[in-house]
Chains A and B, each alone.
Chain A
Amino acid sequence: MRRIGVVVFPGTNCEFDTVTAIERCGGQPELVWHDRRSLAAMDALVLPGGFSYGDYLRPGAIARFSPVMSAVRSFADSGGPVLGICNGFQVLTEAGMLPGALQKNIGLKFICRTVTIRVETTRTPVTRKAMQSMELSLPINHFEGNYTCDSNTLERLRNEERIVLRYVDNPNGSMDSIAGICNEAGNVVGIMPHPERAVDHLLGLEDGEIIFRSLLDTTIGH
């Protein structure tokens, strides 16, 4: 059993879906409250979606100063796999663990629907069991999902194979249709779609499983 820490800030609201998804994929999830300072016992971490600290100032801006974030940073620095989903992705960019920022959607609409996502690299902890160019049906649910960065950063992301997921039909104005990226080392990944809401065929979608199965596979040996 692999222990996956699911980090909970005040205002996080996707933690129980994430816990269920990890359990269904054979892992052992553990909720980690934002005041925790050590994560040494974990094999991987997920920062789930929601509205941490009410999204006040900017999504993720305040969560970045939570005590748990220095532990998340040390965990990542030691090579531990970290996945930020939606608000979790926003937290990781605000914390400087991933480059760029997530702006308001073009058209100023909150978008909640299923979209087609293409896997652009299988060299990350959350896509290693997927296939290159594989298309996944995953829900998105965000107001600030419009990925933005400067042109040098975009060039680096492209050249270093750090664009992990792209929208097939860009819904929010994201630069280069980016739906997910990783850090230089490849162990920290941020994605806007919600794989934890796509792990049950009775609910219509199960393409999210491959993300969690990959993560569980990656933790072996960490």
Chain B
Amino acid sequence: MNSLTNYLVLVEVRPRADVADPAGATVERSLPALGFDGITQVRVGKAIRFLVRATSRDEAKLKAERLADTFLANPVIEEAEVSVLSPES
């Protein structure tokens, strides 16, 4: 039986490694002045959470990945990582 479940999905969008990240660089530069030492490679992105109604965890992930690749991230400058956090009842 294919019952539908709401899966909680987290999409993390970050600037691609080969693309400059002015926000990350600015945050990193400000850290020593605030007393935080030894923190490097700061990258600033976005976290987007939503529920996906699907018949399985795999289907939910696939749907979310398609959404991430076509809309939530711009592949020219960003990459997206999709995690299915939990089924919601």
Binding site for B on A (CB under 8 A): 57-58, 61, 93-94, 99-101, 103-108, 146, 148-150, 173
Contact = CB atoms under 8 A, between A and B. Distances in A.
Contacts of B77: 101, 103, 148
A133 B63 CA distance: 49
Interface string B62-75: 00000000011010
Contact of A108 (B22, B72, B74): B22
Contacts of A149: 76
Contact of B22 (A58, A99, A100, A107): A107
B interface residue count range (under 10 / 10 to 19 / 20 to 34 / 35 or more): 10 to 19
B76 A105 contact: no
A61 B71 contact: yes
A119 B30 CA distance: 38
Interface of B: 19-20, 22-23, 25-26, 71-72, 74, 76-77
A162 to B, nearest CB: 16
Nearest to A107: B22
A10 B76 CA distance: 25
21 contacts: A57-B71, A57-B72, A58-B74, A61-B71, A61-B74, A94-B74, A100-B76, A101-B76, A101-B77, A103-B22, A104-B23, A106-B20, A107-B22, A108-B22, A108-B25, A146-B20, A148-B20, A148-B76, A149-B76, A173-B20, A173-B22
B66 to A, nearest CB: 15
Contacts of B26: 108
A150 B19 CA distance: 9
A44 B19 CA distance: 34
Contacts of A103: 19-20, 22, 77
B23 A108 contact: yes
A105 B22 contact: yes
A180 to B, nearest CB: 17
Report, nearest first, the 4 A-B pairs whose CB atoms are least far apart: A101-B76, A108-B22, A101-B77, A104-B22
Contacts of A94: 74
A61 B77 CA distance: 13
A13 B74 CA distance: 24
Contact of B74 (A101, A106, A150): A101
Given A61-B74, A103-B22, A150-B76, 19 more contacts: A61-B71, A94-B74, A99-B76, A101-B74, A101-B76, A101-B77, A103-B20, A104-B22, A105-B22, A106-B22, A108-B23, A108-B25, A108-B26, A146-B20, A146-B22, A148-B20, A148-B76, A148-B77, A149-B76
B15 to A, nearest CB: 8
B22 to A, nearest CB: 5
A103 B72 CA distance: 15
A129 B43 CA distance: 44
